[in-house]
C-alpha cells in the first residue's frame, strides 16, 4: 500500500508540473514574450503551492478522503484549464490574463495540498525521515519525466488541450486508486466513487472531442476557414483560407496573405539580389514557407540555395501541401535547394560556408528566443559568412508601428561594422514594412530588374530608401544577447498599436 501511494506521488508530481508548463506555453503562444509568461506563471504557481502546503495544516481528519477530493479537483480544474483559457482568449483577451493567473493559482493551491497529505498518510507506517526522502525522490523523478516528455512527445503529438486533459485523467486515476486501496476505511466511499466516476467521464468525453474543441476555439480566433493546424515543439502552425486567400499564422501572428505576399517577398529579395549579377550561392535563414526561395530561383545564374529553418514541420508542410506548393512554385523541391532543419545561430557557428547573398527572414522579435537572432552576436556570425561583395537582407518589422525596434536592428547591424541601407515597402496585410540591406560596401539600387516582378520597378525602388518624418531614424541601443533590448522595444510598441 505504501509503495502504491509513493507511485501516486510520482504521477501527481508529473501532473503538477505539466499544468504549469501548459499554462506557460499557452500564455506564450497567445500573448508572446515567452520569458515573461513562463516566469510569471512559474512564480505564481510556486507561490500558490506554498499557500496550499500552509493550508494543509487545517486538515486534521479523514486525510484519505480529503486527498481523493483534492485529486479530483486538480484533475478537473487542471484537465480543463487549457481548453477554458483557449476559449476565453478567443472570446476576449482582456480578462484572459486574470483568468490565467486565477487558474494557475487554483491549481497550484491544490497541488500544494497533495504532498503534505500523502506524507501524513504515509507517516502512519513509516518513520518521518523515510517519508520525506521517499516522497521527495518520487516527486522529483515525476517532474523530470514530464519535463522531458512535454516538448518532445506531448505538445507535438497531443497539443496543449489534449495534454492537459490527459494529465487530468491521471489525477482522477490516482483518486480512484486511492479509493480502491482505502475503500474499507472510507465512510463516504460510495459518494467519492460517484464523484470520481463523473470526473472521469467528463474528462474522457472532452479528450475524445479535443480535436473538435480545438477546431471550434480556433474557428472563433481566426475569421477564415482553417485548412491546416498543428503544434510542433517550436510553434503553433495554422493555415487559413478565404476564397483564394491563403494565410499563414505562427503562434497567432500573421506571417503572410497570399493576396499580397508577393510585395513582401519581392521587396525582401530583389533590391539586393538584382545588384549581384555574379551571385551563385544564396543562404536563406528562416523562410520555411519557400516564398523567398521562389523569388531567388527566378535568377538563372543561382546555382545553389541553402535554406536553414528550425521547424521541420514547417518546411515539410510547404513542400507537400498542393496549395502551398503552388504558392511557392515548388521552390522547396528544386534540385538547387538544400533544406536544413536547425537553429540558425548554431548552424552559423558550426559551418564555414560563405555566400554571395543572404536572406534573413525570421518572425518578428516578439520573444527572447527570436530576439537572439537579431543580436549583435548573430550579425557578427552572419558577417563571417558573406563573400567580399556579398549582401545580406534582414526583415526588420514595421518602421511605422515599431519605429524604435526597426532602427534598433539597423543600429545593431552597424555596431558589428556592416554598412546598412534601410528601406521600406507597403504590404497591405501588414502596413508599412521594413527591411535592411547590409554588407561591406555602399549599396546602390539596381537600374533595372533582370527578372519579372509584379510590384517592384527600377524607377520607384530609390523611393523605398527614403523615410518620411514619422518613420525617420530614432536613437536605439544595440541589441545584445545579454540585454535583449529589442524584444522590450518591440513588445512596448506593438502593445500600443493593439490598444
Instruction: Cite the active site residues.
Output: 361
Report helix, strand or coil for 104.
helix
Q: Which of 394, 388, 445, 438 is nearest to 417 (CA)?
A: 438
Residue 281 CA to residue 357 CA, distance in Å, equals: 7
- List, as one string, the DSSP characters of 146-211: HHHHIIIIIHHHHHHHHHHHHHHHHHHHHHHHHHHHHGGG-TTHHHHHHHHHHHHHHHHHHHHTHH
How far apart CA 365 and CA 362 sit, in angstroms, is 8
Chain-centroid distance, C-alpha 250 = 8
Asked whether 234 and 311 are in contact (CB, 8 A), the reply is yes
Question: Is the CB of residue 51 less than 8 Å from the CB of residue 112?
Answer: yes
- Angle in degrees, 0-180, between the axes of helices 96-122 and 2-31, rounded to the nearest 10: 170
Q: How many CB atoms lie within 10 A of CB 398?
A: 21
Cell numbers describing residue 227: 485548412
Instruction: Show the 3-state SS of 18-81.
Output: HHHHHHHHHHHHHHCCHHHHHHHHHHHHHHHHHHHHHHHHHCCCCHHHHHHHHHHHHHHHHHHH
Q: What is the DSSP letter of 93?
A: S
Residue 23: CB partners within 8 Å, gap ≥ 6? 41, 45, 81, 82, 85, 100, 103, 104, 107
Is beta strand 419-427 parallel, antiparallel or unpaired with respect to 431-439? antiparallel
Report the 10 Å Cβ neighbour count for 498.
Answer: 7
Q: How far apart are CA 332 and CA 451, in angstroms?
A: 20
- Rounded-to-integer distance, Cα 309 and Cα 324, Å: 17
Taking the C-alpha atoms of residue 146 and residue 154, their distance in angstroms, rounded to an integer, is: 9
Taking alpha carbons only, the member of 455, 440, 439, 437 closest to residue 272 is 437
Task: Determine the length of the chain.
Answer: 499
Q: Taking the CA atoms of the chain, what radius of gyration do you get in angstroms? A: 27
The residues facing 281 across adjacent strands are: 304
Amino acid at each position: 500500500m505504501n509503495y502504491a501511494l509513493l507511485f501516486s506521488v510520482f504521477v501527481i508530481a508529473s501532473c503538477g508540473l505539466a499544468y504549469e508548463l501548459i499554462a506557460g506555453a499557452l500564455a506564450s503562444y497567445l500573448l508572446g514574450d515567452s520569458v515573461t509568461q513562463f516566469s510569471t506563471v512559474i512564480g505564481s504557481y510556486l507561490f500558490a503551492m506554498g499557500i496550499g502546503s500552509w493550508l494543509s495544516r487545517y486538515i486534521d481528519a479523514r486525510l484519505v478522503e480529503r486527498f481523493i477530493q483534492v485529486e479530483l479537483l486538480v484533475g478537473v480544474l487542471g484537465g480543463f484549464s487549457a481548453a477554458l483559457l483557449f476559449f476565453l482568449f478567443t472570446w476576449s483577451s482582456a480578462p484572459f490574463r486574470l483568468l490565467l493567473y486565477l487558474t494557475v493559482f487554483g491549481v497550484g493551491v491544490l497541488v500544494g495540498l497533495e504532498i503534505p497529505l500523502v506524507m501524513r498518510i504515509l507517516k502512519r507506517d513509516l518513520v518521518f525521515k523515510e517519508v520525506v526522502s521517499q516522497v521527495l525522490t518520487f516527486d522529483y523523478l515525476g517532474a523530470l519525466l514530464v519535463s522531458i516528455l512535454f516538448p518532445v512527445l506531448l505538445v507535438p503529438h497531443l497539443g496543449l488541450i489534449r495534454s492537459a486533459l490527459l494529465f487530468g485523467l491521471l489525477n482522477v486515476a490516482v483518486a480512484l486508486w486511492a479509493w480502491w486501496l482505502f475503500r474499507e476505511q472510507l465512510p463516504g466511499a460510495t459518494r467519492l466513487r460517484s464523484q470520481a466516476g463523473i470526473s472521469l467521464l467528463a474528462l474522457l468525453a472532452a479528450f475524445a472531442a479535443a480535436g473538435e474543441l480545438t477546431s471550434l476555439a480556433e474557428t472563433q480566433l481566426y475569421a477564415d476557414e482553417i485548412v491546416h493546424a498543428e503544434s510542433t515543439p517550436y510553434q503553433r502552425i495554422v493555415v487559413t483560407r478565404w476564397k483564394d486567400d491563403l494565410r499563414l499564422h505562427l503562434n497567432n501572428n500573421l506571417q503572410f496573405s497570399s493576396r499580397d505576399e508577393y510585395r513582401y517577398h519581392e521587396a525582401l529579395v530583389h533590391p539586393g539580389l538584382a545588384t549581384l549579377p555574379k551571385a551563385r550561392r544564396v543562404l536563406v535563414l528562416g523562410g520555411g514557407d519557400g516564398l523567398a526561395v521562389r523569388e531567388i530561383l527566378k535568377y538563372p545564374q543561382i546555382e545553389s540555395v541553402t535554406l536553414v529553418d528550425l521547424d521541420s514541420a514547417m518546411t515539410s508542410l510547404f513542400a507537400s501541401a498542393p496549395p502551398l506548393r503552388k504558392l511557392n512554385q515548388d521552390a522547396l523541391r528544386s534540385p538547387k535547394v538544400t533544406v536544413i532543419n536547425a537553429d540558425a545561430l548554431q548552424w552559423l557557428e558550426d559551418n564555414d560556408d560563405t555566400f554571395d547573398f543572404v536572406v534573413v527572414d525570421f518572425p518578428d522579435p516578439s520573444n527572447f528566443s527570436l530576439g537572439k537572432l537579431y543580436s549583435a552576436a548573430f550579425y557578427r556570425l552572419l558577417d563571417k559568412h558573406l563573400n567580399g561583395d556579398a549582401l545580406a537582407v534582414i526583415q526588420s518589422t514595421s518602421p511605422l508601428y515599431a519605429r524604435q525596434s526597426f532602427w534598433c536592428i539597423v543600429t545593431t547591424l552597424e555596431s558589428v561594422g556592416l554598412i546598412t541601407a534601410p528601406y521600406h515597402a507597403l504590404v497591405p496585410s501588414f502596413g508599412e514594412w521594413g527591411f535592411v540591406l547590409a554588407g561591406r560596401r555602399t549599396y546602390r539600387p539596381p537600374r533595372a530588374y533582370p527578372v519579372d516582378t509584379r510590384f517592384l520597378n527600377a524607377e520607384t525602388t530609390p523611393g523605398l530608401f527614403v523615410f518620411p518624418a514619422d518613420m525617420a531614424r530614432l536613437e536605439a541601443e544595440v541589441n545584445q544577447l545579454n540585454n535583449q533590448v529589442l524584444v522590450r522595444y518591440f513588445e512596448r510598441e506593438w502593445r500600443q498599436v493593439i490598444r
